[in-house]
Amino acid sequence: MSDNDRDHRIRQRAYLLWLGDGQPDGKAEEHWRQAVAAEQDRAADEASRESFPASDPPARGGITGVGGPA
């Protein structure tokens, strides 16, 4: 993922925050900070999903994995 993609997501989110806030003057920095924080949260969530597998493959048998139905 490039810095351009990240910047685009931040810019888009800041714009949507500005629209949702009624398009006020003088709040660009606040909306930008909120968008950066949201992007950091999104990136952290993505990184944590990538670092942990959804699950291990199921064992074939009981607790030891030996025996059980074939």
Quick: pLDDT tens for 2-39.
889 999 999 999 999 999 999 999 999 999 999 999 99
Residue-level pLDDT at 29: 97
| Confidence band, pLDDT 50/70/90 cuts, at residue 57 | low
pLDDT of residue 58 exceeding 90, the answer is no
What pTM does this model have? 0.66
Residue-level pLDDT at 50: 72
CB 14 within 8 A of CB 32: yes
Radius of gyration of the chain (CA): 22
DSSP character for 26?
A: T
Residue-level pLDDT at 40: 95
- Kindly list the domain boundaries of the chain, sorted by start residue: 3-49
